[in-house]
């Protein structure tokens, strides 16, 4: 298991400091940078006794492997990897679960954007298969703008089995698929719910699709056949939010 990781970008570094300050080992800030947005980061770092070093742009570019670091990079202890047991422990204390399943998303920008959408929609956790999915990389954290520190990501060994265990707990699973007959605006998305999204190229795998209780589509008016997975995720989650608030 990885022991240390890198997080970069203003929102991502501030979020890890705010939510898990004990994980932050050291912070590097671009020397000569006079940016008000750094103030909360420096304040929280000082409050928790986290060492802050000033470094050149080249050093920060190297530490972030060329990422968009916005003048701040943190060395952090790797986050605990959450599994099926953690998922069920969370569900046992959750009244009306609202979950997102991502069936094999591999692009860190897409996972980061889905985490951001999930946080904004009030999703309690994202479930992904352990294999053939991107995990919590530095790029994911940066794109998630802090949401990677808030929304738990559960990495499960057998997604179909986990889906069955969700259904046993009374959670309805709606899978998003462009060719589904029922559209997202007519589906009922209230109550205990998990929305399952497919991967960038292949969509939902056959077994995942067959494990869903219903399939929903987002009507497409133009000529392209599908939306980017993070855009489709945002639409499905916020239609569910709309219905849940209207109840
Ligand atoms: C880029 S799409 C995958 C396209 C893939 N060729 C397919 O056949 O599903 C990634 C995921 O976003 C969701 N998605 C994209 N467009 C959608 C739409 N119009 N309706 C419902 N879900 C959609 C689905 O979950 C899909 O698996």
Q: Tell me the DSSP string of 171-190.
A: -EEEEE-TT-SSBTTTS---
In short, whether 234's Cβ falls inside 6 Å of ligand 1 is no
> Domains in the chain, start-ordered, CATH in brackets?
4-77 (3.30.1330.30), 84-246 (3.40.1280.10)
- Nearest-CA residue for atom 3 of ligand 1: 203
The answer to whether 198 is a known ligand-binding residue is yes
pLDDT at residue 27 tops 90:
yes
Write the pLDDT tens digit of every residue in 166-198: 999 999 999 999 999 999 999 999 999 999 999
Residue 242 has a pLDDT of 98
**Closest ligand 1 atom, residue 196 Cα:** 25
- Nearest-CA residue for atom 4 of ligand 1: 203
Centre of ligand 1 to C-alpha 229, Å, is 6
Asked whether the ipTM of the predicted complex exceeds the cut of 0.85, the reply is yes
Name the pLDDT band for 4 (thresholds 50, 70, 90): confident
* CB of 43 closer than 8 Å to CB of 110: no
Taking the whole predicted model, whether its pTM rises above 0.80 is answered as yes
Centre of ligand 1 to C-alpha 91, Å, is 27
In short, whether 187's Cβ falls inside 6 Å of ligand 1 is no
Name the pLDDT band for 2 (thresholds 50, 70, 90): low
Centre of ligand 1 to C-alpha 176, Å, is 7
The answer to whether 227 is a known ligand-binding residue is yes
Residue 56 has a pLDDT of 96
Write the pLDDT tens digit of every residue in 98-149: 999 999 999 999 999 999 999 999 999 999 999 999 999 999 999 999 999 9
Centre of ligand 1 to C-alpha 178, Å, is 5
In short, whether 198's Cβ falls inside 6 Å of ligand 1 is yes
Write the pLDDT tens digit of every residue in 39-49: 999 999 999 99
């Amino acid at each position: 298991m990885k022991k240390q990781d890198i997080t970069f970008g203003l929102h991502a570094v501030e979020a890890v400091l705010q939510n898990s300050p004990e994980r932050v080992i050291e912070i590097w800030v671009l020397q000569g940078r006079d940016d008000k947005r750094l103030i909360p980061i420096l304040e929280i770092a000082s409050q928790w006794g986290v060492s802050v070093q000033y470094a050149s742009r080249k050093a920060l570019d190297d530490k972030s492997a060329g990422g968009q670091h916005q003048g701040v990079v943190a060395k952090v202890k790797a986050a605990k990897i959450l599994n099926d047991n953690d998922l069920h422990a969370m569900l046992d204390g959750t009244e009306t679960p609202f979950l997102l399943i991502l069936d094999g998303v591999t692009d860190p920008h897409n996972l980061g954007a889905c985490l951001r959408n999930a946080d904004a929609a009030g999703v309690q956790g994202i479930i992904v298969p352990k294999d053939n999915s991107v995990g919590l990389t530095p790029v994911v954290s940066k794109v998630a703008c802090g949401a990677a520190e808030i929304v738990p990501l559960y990495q499960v060994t057998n997604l179909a089995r986990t889906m069955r265990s969700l259904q046993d707990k009374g959670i309805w699973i709606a899978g998003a698929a462009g060719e589904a007959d029922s559209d997202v605006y007519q589906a009922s998305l209230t109550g205990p719910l998990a929305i399952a999204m497919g991967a960038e190229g292949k969509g939902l795998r056959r077994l995942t699709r067959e494990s869903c209780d219903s399939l929903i589509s987002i009507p497409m008016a133009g000529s392209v056949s599908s939306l980017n997975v993070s855009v489709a995720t945002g639409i499905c989650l916020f239609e569910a939010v709309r219905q849940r608030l209207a109840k």
